[in-house]
A and B are shown apart, each in its own frame.
Chain A
Amino acid sequence: MPDSKKTFQLDDREVPFREGQTIFDAAMAAGIFIPHLCHNPDFEPHSSCRLCTVIVNGRPFASCTQPAVAGQMVQSNTPELRDMRRMLTQMLFVEGNHNCPGCIKSGHCRLQATAYELGIPDNHYQQFFPLREVDASHPGIILDRDRCILCGLCVRISRSVDKKNVFAMTGRGIDTTIVVDSPSGLLVDSTVSVDDQAVLNCPVGALMLKRMAFDVPFGDRTYDQALYSEDSVARFQATEANRHG
């Protein structure tokens, strides 16, 4: 349980925290949603998407990795930060080839759900239309690089949870892409399997099991049932309760 004596101020609220807890985790435990894409409560944070950036005592930090300190003045829900998050999300859309209407992940996708909650009606920026390869060589898994947002979750999970190191990032800047550790560079020749946590926890439609085609009808999809913010807060709170009672 958080030490009720230790708090920091998040926008207009006093938020209690536990020693060692991040600003992000303390905020979510208190029911305050901070938008994020690369963070998943079941795995270590990475601070790569920067969507969870907050202003701490006047300076920007990724809240998912920034430890909470008593007395901090933290700003999250400000017009400037909302604009920044919207801009980051729009850039992710134009840097890839995201076609929500035809995507199996639609309704379950955190990028799409984030865009809805941030009030993004269109991509705003000019589309890059990058040429990226789809790897459908594996009988049960498809890697669609068009939809990858480079959050690095699959890389981290494959390394630390699945203990396989199937995925890695290569290239720099806009040319960064996911590569597969196999002699041919294809999934079929790698050690990946359909029950790998790296495959099952992709927040977007980049890594998916094959043939899971729109089998969940409208109304029953993850973000039909609850807003991303509600669902996410509940997930983080449940994880916190499991770990720390």
Chain B
Amino acid sequence: MSPFLETAANPRSLRRVVIEPVTRVEGHGKVTLLLDDEGRVRQARLHIVEFRGFEKFIQGRPYWEVPVLVQRLCGICPVSHHLAAGKAVDMLVGARRLTPTAEKLRRLLHAGQIVQSHALHFFHLASPDLLFGFDSERDRRNIVGVIGAEPELARKGVLLRKYGQEVIRHITGKRVHGKAVVPGGMNKELTQSARDEMRRGIGEIIGWSREAVAIGRRLFESSEQSAQFAVFPSNYMGLVAPNGESDLYDGVLRAKDAAGKIIFDQVDYTKYNRFLREEVKPWTYMKFPFIVSLGEEEGWYRVGPLARLNVADRLGTPLAEAERQAFRAAAGGGMQHATLAYHWARLIEMLHAAERIERLLDDPDILGADLVTSGERAFEGVGVVEAPRGTLFHHYKVDENDLVVRANLIVSTTHNNQAMNESVRSVAARYLDGKELTEGLLNHIEVAIRAYDPCLSCATHALGRMPLQVELVDAGGSVISRMVKGSDGRVTDGEG
């Protein structure tokens, strides 16, 4: 599927370009480009060198702490970790089916998370690149620049995110790192006043989400780069309802190949490790998941908004479903492979989540008081949700004393690991001439990575000044050129 990736006959003879972004929150990531003698990009490696260690340090903790402990993995999508871990812990207490109120509150919480995260990603992080161009003036290419150039758009983006955060706050008590999910249910009823407050704002949120989809579509369709920028075939995976409809909170796993043919479907996610395995490589802490039936080389896949719109038969809300049909029609009715289409897909999902919120708020069950259930105790639990960035797996084993003895988390950035490498390689192959390191190249690579919305880049772009270190190293290991973009945005040769 990616003939140039990891397949160079003699990697030692390749020259090496290292792009080293040092992030403020998630730690440290860098990109290495390995060039051949003609200066063509033969390999791309996105290194995730920070080590989080959550799987290790939750060992020995009681299982009921886990949904709260693990949400500290992230400050942007803690709700997704809270929910995935909560679903795994539900299995441990035998809560096979939650009460209607608990399940709907969780779905509402999840929809709020989708709105706030997708709004943050598009308006705050990605829109500067898309509105002003990848090579535009760096001091302008940030949310402050968007506020200056498109104040109404920026205002709506900020308020969309705020609405999603308010949904989260009403349910968990806080906008970030709240607590709502307990084993077998939820810890708090939704008050009538909170429901009414959210209900009052939802019409405007749906309206703005529709406008956002129109902008995403226009930006994609009007850009000459859309059809060329990191467009490559891949497999896709996502969670769908048993009837094939998109379901971001619960369902079965489905994977399709690049032509849209089903690889697997109706897979019980608790048996995920029969269908997915993870490969370890020595140069990164991030694993490489692959579809078992296709093998390590061919089995990589993409997850997230683009994948979800490619694998689902339909979206279960009318406005978003109409937009999904337009999205698929733009790809000739087949699979959409353009990396930049992630943004358009993300906005369609935001609209879908907003419609879901409206529907859930009108459901009488949402104000119910029956919140917790339990059943026969189990010692292994798996929870899966579609987090904003893609499919999120939490898998725990506990001992007879209730302590976690084993944990496995597969986060969306990990699923997209190989796809991000392929995107970087694709972009670098197009824009790097082999000897000249340009700021434009760095920007293009950043844009490719950011389309997937991985944790390592989202924090760094908040002010449009992702610190980068670029080194051109020959096959003998000598640095023949260096380029540094500091956190103040200035580009230097890195000396002094």
Residues of A at the B interface (CB closer than 8 Å) are 99, 101-104, 134, 136-137, 142, 210-219
- In the bound assembly, the distance between CA atoms of A200 and B179 in angstroms comes to 23
**Which residues from chain B sit less than 8 Å from chain A, CB to CB?**
60-62, 64-65, 68-69, 72, 172-174, 177-180, 182-183, 187-188, 401-403
> A134-B60, A213-B64 given as contacts; is B182 within 8 A of A101 (CB)?
no
A104 engages B180 (CB within 8 Å) = no
Closest chain A residue to B402, Cβ basis: A136
Asked if B68 and A210 make an inter-chain contact with CB atoms under 8 angstroms apart, the answer reads no
Instruction: Name B171's closest neighbour in chain A (CB-CB).
Output: A217
State whether A217 touches B173 (Cβ < 8 A): yes
Give Cα A31–Cα B402 distance, bound, in whole angstroms: 43
- Are A101 and B72 in contact, with the CB atoms below 8 A? yes
By the criterion CB–CB under 8 Å, are B183 and A213 in contact? yes
In the complex, A218 Cα to B187 Cα: how many Å? 10
- Chain A residues, CB < 8 A from B178: 218
Which residues of A lie under 8 Å from residue B64 when comparing CB positions? 104, 210-214
The 6 closest A-B CB pairs, nearest first, are: A218-B173, A213-B64, A102-B69, A217-B188, A136-B401, A214-B179
Inter-chain pairs besides A134-B403, A211-B183, A214-B68, 11 sampled, C-beta below 8 Å: A101-B69, A101-B177, A102-B61, A102-B72, A103-B65, A104-B64, A137-B401, A142-B62, A211-B64, A213-B64, A217-B180
B187/A219 in contact, CB under 8 A: no
Complex: chain A residue closest to B57, CB-CB: A99
Residues of chain A within 8 A of B173, CB atoms compared: 217-219
Q: Which of A99, A215, A219 contacts B182 (CB 8 A)?
A: A215
Write the chain A residue with the least CB distance to B178. Answer: A218
Measured in the bound complex, the distance between the Cα atoms of B60 and A134 in whole Å is: 8
Q: Which residue of B lies closest to A220 (CB)?
A: B188
Residues of A within 8 A of B174 (CB): 218
Contact in complex: B60, A214 (CB < 8 Å): no
Pick from B62, B72, B182: contact of A136, CB under 8 Å? B62
A218 and B178 alpha carbons, distance in the complex (Å): 8
CB distance from A194 to the nearest CB of B (A): 14
CB distance from B432 to the nearest CB of A (A): 43
B172, closest chain A residue (CB):
A218
Q: Do the beta carbons of A214 and B182 come within 8 Å of each other?
A: yes
Contact of B187 among A142, A210, A214 (CB under 8 A): A214
Name the distance in Å between B29's Cβ and chain A's nearest Cβ. Answer: 25
**Shortest distance in angstroms between A101's beta carbon and chain B's nearest beta carbon?**
6
Inter-chain contacts of B61 with A (CB < 8 A): 102, 134
By a CB distance below 8 angstroms, the chain B residues around A211 are 64, 183, 402
Measured in the bound complex, the distance between the Cα atoms of B172 and A137 in whole Å is 31
Task: Specify which chain B residues have a CB less than 8 angstroms from the CB of A216 in the assembled complex.
Answer: 187
Expressed in whole angstroms, the Cα–Cα distance for A61 and B182 within the complex equals 45
Chain B residues closer than 8 Å to A102, beta-carbon distance: 61, 65, 68-69, 72
Ordered by A's residue number, 17 sampled pairs between the chains whose C-beta atoms are within 8 Å are A99-B69, A101-B69, A101-B177, A142-B62, A211-B64, A211-B183, A213-B64, A214-B179, A214-B182, A217-B173, A217-B188, A218-B172, A218-B173, A218-B174, A218-B178, A218-B179, A219-B173
Alpha-carbon gap, A103 to B72, bound state (A): 12
Question: What residues of B have a CB within 8 angstroms of the CB of A215 in the complex?
Answer: 182, 187
